[in-house]
Chain A
Amino acid sequence: MTGGEIRPSRLRWWWLAGALAVLVAAGLASILLGAADLDARSVGAAFLDRLPFVSVDSGLDERQAAILWQLRLPRVVLGGIVGAALAVSGGAYQGSFRNPLADPYLLGVAAGAGLGATVAIGYESALPAMGFELLPLFAFVGGVVGVVATYVLGSSVRAGRTPVTLILAGVAVAAFLTAVQTYLLQRNAETLREVYGWILGRLSTVGWSDVRLSLPYVLISSIVILAGARLLDVLSVGDDEAATLGVRPPRVRLVLVVAATLGTAAAVAVAGLIGFVGIIVPHTIRIVFGPSYRIVLPLSLIFGAAFLIVADLLARTIAAPAEIPIGVVTAFFGAPFFAVVLRSSRGLGS
């Protein structure tokens, strides 16, 4: 990446303000719309009523209040958390591997997390009781195994290393992990439904407990990644040049990849496999605002949250009162976009 274009490398405050405005708009629309018909004024009143020293009669009955506070709001919040985590992690992977196509899906992270989840669901009864849910832990370990295997395999190629090499390695690792997962599913057919329900994305049944479970990890991961944005910009000039500038590329890469995997796995553990957010969002921002990671990463965080909130809004309203799996919605928009990215990846990557 030579970064030949003359573009600002600093985040402008009005970009940030605009991004936050988009996020707030997405959140508001998402809170007001849903399968259950809640009157917008009542919803507004219900929020006012929650403010200290304000008492307003919202007119919502007990069940409508439960729909708003226990179903819709946690889902919007979690959608934001998951979207932010996936997008900023995707950006961090792309910077760390200096590969514009790096994405939790293509790096084997998602396949590894899926395998971990399958093991956790299928063998829960055979494993010692730990007093906490095993699925998030197993999904994380699986994700780490996936990305490490991909990186080792991708960097073991001696001649002709290109951005494609890493992706090919990721495809091979993902295929292998998916094969293991399919085998385990065949052996434990009774868990099939539960596992596939999880894989298709399960934002539809989340609650505040999922927010509490994922938020700490996503926060840590995002802070580390955002703090590393400047280092990623330095890395983009090449490892040797970065070393002369006092940066130790292997260490930076390790920290950022671990942070990105932590964020991805936390998101995957509560929301299932949701594809393409990690590639669509950072690339769109690169195209619109410029390639500097000091721009791409913070804006990915915000637009990623907004994107997934809107995608989930579509997933739960297009066919209401039925749901469409969110993975289908993001892939529906993601697959065509990915084709465009591939077509122009020379301009982005080299």
Chain B
Amino acid sequence: MTRSIRALVAVIVMVAASCGPARSADDATTIAPPTTAETTTIAPIGNDGFPVTIDAPHGPVTIEARPERIISLSPTSTEVLFAVGAGDQVVAVDDQSNYPASAPVSDLTGFEPNLEAIAAYEADLVVLMYDPGDVIAGLSAIGIPVIEHPAAATLADAYRQIEEIGVATGHQEEAGELVVAMRDAIEDVVAGADVAGTTYYHEISPELYSLTSVTFAGALYDMFGLENIADAADADGWGYPQLSAEHILAEDPGIIFLADVRCCGQDAAAVSSRPGWDTLQAVQSGAIAELDDDIASRWGPRVVDFVETIAAAVAGSP
């Protein structure tokens, strides 16, 4: 029983972690400039820059030639691959990768990657966000290079992943431009927003799981100066507390962001009809932002859209 509970909690954690894990409160709140040189070394020998070597946590990964059969097991990485112009080189993406529409969705799963199924695609590069066991070791053993891009904790992490994918796929220049464009766009949006101590509640599930300022999404809200009502409920700094409904009512957040619209059918009307929630100022003034679950839980190019949604909600709140 305790074991199964622990397994369930692990799954919740895993699902929540796909929304960006908490690492450190300090670097989550700063937007560091992209630091390509720090993690990626490029050895420009041969044609179009290949082979390249990428310093990964599991050791240096060498990509001999421009990969033409890429598999992505991470929805975020899929978005990045297509945004940097490597879409033509992608042969398969996992079943959760639903953007862009042209991505070649397959039965592959990022939760329990199947080595044989991946090998059957004759992949020459695999990008994943999570290694449940020996997937990286197994793929490396059969000569397939693997890049592991776990959930970003900060925008700097997200930018670094984009640049690394650029290098690994032969689209270094486009990746660099994408990062600059994202950073400029985000800075513009944030600079134009006016927040005076507004509080917010970000909902991950109808069971009132939320996220705090130490998470990737939380850091984005933090850039606007919004105050998170879940921070008080996260003593151990994990980042994803389940809030007490009493706490939400007592705190009376100025804006409610719903990231459980698609998964769990929540919307402004559903929130308004929850017991007692009609007394909240956000409900009475209509300051409820229905987010796209996917955009709000990924750390790819569409972070800009997320930031714009936050800005719009801030502007619309009284």
Contact = CB atoms under 8 A, between A and B. Distances in A.
Interface of A: 34-37, 62-64, 66-67, 69-72, 74, 105, 186, 189-194, 196-197, 199-200, 202, 204-205, 207-208, 275-276, 316, 319-325, 327-328, 331-332, 334-335, 338
Given A189-B95, A193-B260, A194-B205, A71 B275 contact: yes
B2 A322 contact: no
B106 interface: no
B263 A204 contact: no
Residue from the set A62, A63, A208, A331 with the largest chain B CB neighbour count within 10 Å: A63
Contacts of A193: 12, 15, 204-205, 260, 263-264
Interface string B198-223: 00000011111100000000000000
5 contacts: A63-B252, A193-B12, A193-B204, A204-B242, A316-B246
B232 A321 contact: yes
Given A189-B111, A193-B205, A200 B12 contact: yes
Contacts of A276: 1
B242 A325 contact: yes
B276 A192 contact: no
Nearest to B249: A67
Contacts of B204: 193
Contacts of A36: 244, 246-247, 249-250
Given A71-B275, A197-B205, A205-B208, A35 B5 contact: no
For the residues of A in contact with B, the DSSP-based class is helix
Contacts of B12: 193, 196-197, 200
Given A192-B15, A196-B12, A204-B207, A321 B247 contact: yes
Given A200-B5, A204-B208, A205-B208, A70 B233 contact: no
Interface in B258-306: 260, 262-264, 274-276, 278-280
A275 B2 CA distance: 10
A191 B260 CA distance: 11
B245 interface: yes
Interface string B7-18: 011011001000
Contacts, number: 135
Contacts of A74: 275
Given A322-B233, A331-B1, A63 B111 contact: no
B234 interface: yes
Contact of B233 (A62, A63, A319, A331): A319
Given A36-B250, A331-B1, A70 B263 contact: no
A200 B278 CA distance: 27
B11 A71 contact: no
A119 B166 CA distance: 42
Nearest to A199: B8
Chain B's interface size range is 35 or more
A113 B252 CA distance: 36
Contacts of A338: 1
Contact of B276 (A66, A196, A200): A66
B243 A71 contact: no
A202 B112 CA distance: 27
B141 interface: no
Nearest to B251: A321
B241 interface: yes
B36 interface: no
B308 to A, nearest CB: 25
Contact of A323 (B11, B15, B244): B244
A127 to B, nearest CB: 15
A194 B206 contact: yes
Contacts of B206: 194, 197, 205
A204 B241 CA distance: 13
A66 B15 CA distance: 32
Given A36-B250, A105-B1, A193-B264, A204 B245 contact: yes
Contacts of B260: 193
B89 interface: no
B136 to A, nearest CB: 22
Contacts of A208: 275
A322 B274 contact: no
Given A275-B1, A322-B234, A35 B247 contact: yes
A71 B249 contact: yes
Given A193-B263, A196-B8, A196-B12, A34 B205 contact: no
Contacts of A196: 8, 11-12, 15
